[in-house]
Amino acid sequence: MKAAVFTHYGPPEVLQVVDVPKPVPNDDEILIRVRATTATRGDSRMRSFTVPRGQWLLARLYLGITGPRRRILGMELAGDVEAAGKAVTRFRPGDPVFGSTFAANFGGYAEYKCLPEKGVVTLKPANLTYEEAAALPGGGMTALRALRHGNVQKGQRVLIYGASGAVGTYAVQLARHFGAEVTGVCSTRNLELVRSLGAAEVVDYTKEDFTQRGDTYAVVIDAVGKLPREQALKRAGVFVDVHNVPGGESLGDLILLKDLAAAGIIKPVIDRCYSLDQIVEAHRYVDQGHKRGNVAITIADS
């Protein structure tokens, strides 16, 4: 099978599409024919080993000291079940599924991937494309945890900083679903996008600093990890940085997002689509730091 592999840390060009052995599912696993995955900031950071100085040693131990321990990136995927282990009861061949590979050594940048039946994987919403479904787990579950950590309630005024990114676009939609009045902070070109997602007000950070306004918010959520805590607390009762939210991904959260997507309450935002052969170009675009929502990678046509 084809997969995008990297053997050392570096720029996008370290990614190479090569032939690797097709995986075989264990008794408790499903083999997924991957239709789509994503190129995320997380993938970019792992590829380039761009981590905060204080996290260098722990990151090196986790990702690989002399080179990447997990050589196929891709933190989320969508596809079809091709085969199921003999102990599997939740899925059967032909089922369209989507899920996270975060706890399964990544691996979305490949034509096939095995995931545990009890992992963070479930049936794909029928109203989403494979690319849209692949973009739902990571950003969606991160946004959901951030809103819960901030204890966002109906009627509260909530500000989402970085509202046009992969996490921010979900945070805006979910906060509105929870009944909050949402203010989104983004750049000029993304103002209309953020409004369309349900923000009652948008602030263009290239022209205005929201902390200099007289407005106050019950919760400020930094969806991009760039807002200093001291600055945010000038206008917030509670500040949440998505990079410091406790807890991890869960099947329950993925199913909740699936149900919300199926009901049309939330919808993934896809900025651009690339093929697996264009993975280097996709990473170059992500590295620019200006993507709107998600960048999808089509692995196989449906």
CA dihedral 202, 156, 253, 77 (to 10 degrees): 0
CB-based contacts of 239: which residues, under 8 Å, 6+ apart?
A: 219, 220, 222, 229, 232, 233
User: What is the number of domains present in the chain?
Assistant: 2
Euclidean distance between the first and the last CA atom of the chain, given in angstroms as a whole number: 17
Q: Alpha-carbon distance 162 to 194, whole Å? A: 10
pTM confidence score: 0.95
Instruction: Name the token pair of 198.
Output: 């349900």
**Structural domain range at position 179:** 139-244
Same domain flag for 190 and 280 = no
Q: Alpha-carbon distance 2 to 5, whole Å? A: 9
Same domain flag for 132 and 276 = yes
Same domain flag for 11 and 117 = yes
Read off the CATH number of the domain in which 67 is found: 3.90.180.10
Same domain flag for 229 and 293 = no
pLDDT in tens, the chain (302 residues): 999 999 999 999 999 999 999 999 999 999 999 999 999 999 999 999 887 776 777 777 878 888 899 999 999 999 999 999 999 999 999 999 999 999 999 999 999 999 999 999 999 999 999 999 999 999 999 999 999 999 999 999 999 999 999 999 999 999 999 999 999 999 999 999 999 999 999 999 999 999 888 899 999 999 998 888 888 888 899 999 999 899 899 999 999 999 999 999 999 999 999 999 999 999 999 999 999 999 999 998 75
Q: For helices 41-48 and 279-287, give the axis angle rounded to 10 degrees.
A: 100
Q: What is the DSSP letter of 85?
A: -
Phi, psi of 254 (to 5 degrees): -65, -40
Instruction: Tell me whether residue 113 is in a domain.
Output: yes
Q: Please answer whether residues 125 and 131 qualify as being in contact, where contact means their C-beta atoms are separated by less than 8 angstroms.
A: no
Q: Is 40 helix (H, G, I), strand (E, B) or coil?
A: coil
Instruction: Tell me whether residue 254 is in a domain.
Output: no
Alpha helices, DSSP H, located in the chain? 41-48, 56-63, 130-134, 137-149, 166-177, 191-196, 229-232, 251-262, 279-287
- What's the residue count for the chain? 302
Read off the CATH number of the domain in which 220 is found: 3.40.50.720
CA angle 17, 14, 8 (to 5 degrees): 115
Instruction: Tell me whether residue 249 is in a domain.
Output: no
Instruction: Tell me whether residue 257 is in a domain.
Output: no
Instruction: Name the token pair of 44.
Output: 């970019």
Q: Please answer whether residues 12 and 283 qualify as being in contact, where contact means their C-beta atoms are separated by less than 8 angstroms.
A: yes
